Amino acid sequence: MPEESVAEAAIAWFDANARDLPWRHPDAGAWAILVSEVMLQQTPVVRVLPAYAAWLARWPTPAALAADEPGEAIRMWGRLGYPRRALRLHECATAIAQRHDGVVPDDLDLLLALPGVGTYTARAVAAFAYGQRQPVVDTNVRRFVARAVAGQADGGHTTRPADLVATAALLPDEPAVAARASAAFMELGAVVCVARSPRCTICPLVERCAWRAAGRPALDGPSRRPQTYAGTDRQVRGLLLAVLREAVEPVPRPRLDVVWPEPTQRDRALRGLIEDGLVDPLPGDLFTLPKGP
């Protein structure tokens, strides 16, 4: 009897252990999957779940979001972090409405041409929404493949062409099965083959993992430093945006001045928000979320 492949073992585990997440439901649809993938970038699942539900309740289609103001997308984004994602998602919805009759395209090149959609997101939508055979590679998949196949502690900070090739080599030929394998690899990397304290004893590949067989060698090179938040411009930007999200009318500068005591950093953060298109300055030293063209 031939040995079970990496994909077969991962899929069998996934079928029995996968988290029940709404974007994995068969009726989720391509738009919902696209929204989830954008929200999940650098944001934990537990924080995404309520925002995802609220977003789709308000904008169940790309056309619905495109018809609203970009500032409303920023308002609904709340405290998910990295709010430029909300702006890019609004631009993406507008492009889908204008170029593709409101339907998320199923062609990889057309997905990659959408605003704010990169290599990972395009392949994730193609695989998870349309059942295509695509190597879907994020930090969790890079780590899982690096350990299971290459015997390395980590897959690096960014996705390289070699990572796509290595992951594609593990995918079954049947597109729908390959898409299932992609989801399984991602889930294993997220909940079992984690960066710190991996749960090797419950991994379906524990007996064939190259990293474990090599004695679980440590990361070769400097480890990643945790990102700080307190006292950074990111924190100040978040505080400023929080005031604007709650406001019904344009906000005068004095109301923004009270959120952070250091004026140089506060002004720099506000300028950055304006430059990024997240805030519109108005005459009279007033500020608001963007209204669009």
Q: Measured between alpha carbons, how far is residue 139 from residues 214, 227, 280 in Å?
A: 22, 16, 34
Q: Are 126 and 118 in contact (CB under 8 A)?
A: no
CB-based burial of residue 219 (10 Å sphere; 0-12 exposed, 13-18 middle, 19+ buried)? exposed
- Classified as helix, coil or strand, 286 is strand
Q: Packing angle between helix 6-17 and helix 175-191, nearest 10 degrees?
A: 70
DSSP-based three-state secondary structure for 59 = coil
Q: Output DSSP code: residue 250.
A: P
Whether residue 128 contacts residue 33, with contact meaning beta carbons closer than 8 Å, is answered with yes
Catalytic (active site) residue 72: no
43, 49, 61: which is closest to 19 by C-alpha? 49
Number of Cβ within a 10 Å radius of residue 62: 27
CA-wise closest residue to 259 among 276, 282, 247, 242: 242
CB 250 within 8 A of CB 244: no
Shortest CA distance to 153 belongs to which of 202, 204, 200, 207? 200
Catalytic: which of 37, 72, 91, 187? 37
Tokens for 281? 């300055």
CB of 199 closer than 8 Å to CB of 216: no
Catalytic residue ranges? 37
